[in-house]
Amino acid sequence: MEQMSLIEEQKNSYLVDIFSADNFCNEDSRKFIEKKYSSKLEITDKFNRKSVSYQLSKKDILHSWLKYKEGFSASLVNILLNEMKAMPGDLVMDPFMGSGTTALVCKMRGIDSIGYDIMPISSISLKAKAACTDYDLKEIRDLIEDVKKIEIPHFYQGNLPYINITKYAYPEETEKFLQYISEWRDKCSYSELSKNLLTLCVINSLERISYTSKSGQYLSWDTRSKKVQLANSARIAKGKKYYLKNMCAHKFFLQKKLSFVSCNMLLMILRLFKK
Ligand SMILES: C[S@@+](CC[C@H](N)C(=O)[O-])C[C@H]1O[C@@H](n2cnc3c(N)ncnc32)[C@H](O)[C@@H]1O
């Protein structure tokens, strides 16, 4: 009896009063659902920090194709599917698909699945990974060779569309290359599957070729970015100190090379699947 009340007490300590940062969202509905289902909560050691995060997928041959820090591990999905006794013929829904871990694990186990995600990268990632044994390797090799040969014409004026948060996120030349390669991809005659893989490779390269890196919910900025330089000029004009805090010094500016570096990596992996 004493142990039961201890468990209840522990469970209650997992319920949170305030979830929304600075009370940005009304929490009545969340609290209502939490209360309604609190009797179903259990304390378990079936999962750990690694399985409920992207960590285990980092070295996975397929789940690592998209570095998705918000992703869960295939191991977590497998544990849950086992627990639900999911069998081929069942239908699993993941309303927050992310990189597509649930759908991919289901596919491997012959279980049907549906899902959606607010981020378009989700379907690009899932499409690329789910087709891992279907690629025409000669076509991928040709595509990589063609990407390597891309030269931006000197008169090219295309600009990468951006939202405010990504303004000045790339060196000018890189930004131009990203726009150019996306137009090139749309026009080229390769199969949709190969084009999708190229899109995934380019997306995978974005952080490394940018002046930013993801840091928790925010971006940290390299001081070489015009955004930081403008902020610094404004600070100096106001008699404040130069702002250096967010410098991400690890950046290499391999620029366009990176997109086909990751293509080459994928090619190696695809070869393994073909064996
Ligand atoms: C924790 S991640 C899911 C990770 C995924 N299970 C995996 O292993 O990659 C949560 C996902 O929910 C998506 N999301 C957030 N709000 C959403 C909404 N309103 N509708 C659909 N998807 C949403 C995010 O884009 C993110 O990909």
DSSP output for 44-75: -SS--TTTTSSGGGGG-TTGGGS--TT---HH
Would you state the structure tokens that stand for residue 54, as one six-digit string? 């992207």
CA of 137 to the centre of ligand 1 (A): 31
| Shortest-distance atom of ligand 1 to CA 94 | 6
pLDDT bucket at 252, cuts 50 / 70 / 90: very low
Q: Specify which residues 215 forms β-bridges with.
A: 218
Contact between residue 139 and residue 196 where contact means Cβ atoms under 8 Å apart: no
CA of 119 to the centre of ligand 1 (A): 8
pLDDT bucket at 267, cuts 50 / 70 / 90: confident
Q: How far apart are CA 126 and CA 114, in angstroms?
A: 12
Which residue range is the domain that position 265 belongs to?
A: 137-274
- The residue contributing the CA closest to ligand 1 atom 20 is 118
- The residue contributing the CA closest to ligand 1 atom 10 is 96
Domain count across the chain:
3
- pLDDT tens figures, 118-160: 999 999 999 999 999 899 989 998 998 888 888 889 999 988 8
CA of 89 to the centre of ligand 1 (A): 25
- pLDDT for residue 2: 61
Residues 100 and 150 in one domain: no
Pocket of ligand 1 (CB under 6 A): 68, 70-72, 96-99, 101-102, 116-119
CA of 245 to the centre of ligand 1 (A): 30
Mean pLDDT score of the chain: 84
Strand spans (E) along 31-183:
91-94, 112-115
- pLDDT for residue 185: 94
- pLDDT for residue 7: 63
Half-sphere exposure of residue 266: CA atoms within 13 angstroms, side-chain side: 34
- pLDDT for residue 153: 92
Residues 146 and 258 in one domain: yes
Residues 92 and 186 in one domain: no
Contact between residue 39 and residue 69 where contact means Cβ atoms under 8 Å apart: no
- pLDDT for residue 250: 43
- pLDDT tens figures, 63-114: 988 888 889 999 999 999 999 999 999 999 999 999 999 999 999 999 999 9
Q: What is the pTM of this model?
A: 0.82
CATH code of the domain covering residue 88 = 3.40.50.150
The closest alpha carbon to 87, from 114, 104, 106, belongs to 106
Residues 37 and 60 in one domain: no
- pLDDT tens figures, 219-248: 888 888 888 888 888 888 888 877 655 555
The last residue of one of the domains, among 71, 104, 130, is: 130
